[in-house]
Structure 1
Amino acid sequence: MKTTLDKLNEELRVFAKTLAPDAVRVLQQSIALQVLSGVVLKTPVDTGRARANWQVGISTPPKGIVSEDTDPISKGTPTIVGNALPFSVVWINNNVEYVAILETGTSQQAPAGMVDVTLEEVRAQFFGV
């Protein structure tokens, strides 16, 4: 069974073949910024640790944990806009050990999780599905 991420990746690959590299870069950056914003804002907050630890990497996933006072959107946006080349892999991940549990809906603040909901919203916005 295909995951939401698999579906989005497949749709992006097909669509990107029809675009010039600069258009791919703009689309890629737009999608990455929306995914980053979506997962950050949907992450439930108790101490702020899980929300603060959404990190962005280009080509390789970021490692480690950051402090609770980090603003992941402000920190990740320049990485996406400044470093994402056409067809590069943009990693948006969270290394907090309990984030996968939050994604399963264990928090009343985010009973549907964060990642799958965000990916479905982005798919619908960009691909109308």
Structure 2
Amino acid sequence: MSFADDLAKYCQAAGDKVDQLVRDTAIGLQASMMTKSPVDTGRFKSNWQCGLGGMNPDTTAPAGSDALGRTEVVLQGYKPGQTIWLTNNLPYAKRLENGWSQQAPSGMVRLTVQDFKYAVKRAADAMK
């Protein structure tokens, strides 16, 4: 079975809760990237952003702020068909993703993307 088939199966099983499945999956993905983020001052981990229909370019979140809480608030406005953007726009984000930190030598985003199928499954299972 392909990933697309699996995704269709999860969405069908979610029925009228597909929007919640999408939101919960996005929150899980954001949490995964945050967990995998290297921490020096905490500014990078706090600057994960969520945008709907386009990238949220903000880079002003102070260290220790609740990036996941902000993501949850943004996702409350999610409408079916919108693209959800999960980004970190700090100037050194690409270097960190490419192994610049010994705390995250394999990055954060690419590891989370590899786990996407399981993130959807976890969100679907939690809805049962």
If the length of structure 2 is used for normalisation, what is the TM-score? 0.77
- Partner of residue 70, structure 2: 75
- Partner of residue 59, structure 2: 65
Q: Aligned to 2:68, what secondary structure does the other structure show?
A: helix
- d(CA) in 1 for partners of 2:5 and 2:99? 27
- Partner of residue 4, structure 1: none
Q: What stretches of structure 1 of length at least 5 have no aligned partner? A: 1-8
How many pairs were matched up?
119
Deviation sequence 1:51-82 (CA, Å, 0-9, x none) = 111011111211231222321012211211x1
CA RMSD of aligned residues (A): 2.6
Structure 1 residue corresponding to 2:89, chosen from 95, 113, 128: 95
- Compared CA separation, residues 123 and 16, structure 1 to 2 (3 A): closer
Q: Aligned to 1:83, what secondary structure does the other structure show?
A: coil
- d(CA) in 2 for partners of 1:11 and 1:54? 30
Percent identity, aligned pairs only?
29
- Partner of residue 35, structure 2: 41
Deviation sequence 1:18-69 (CA, Å, 0-9, x none) = 5787332122112101111011111100111111110111112112312223
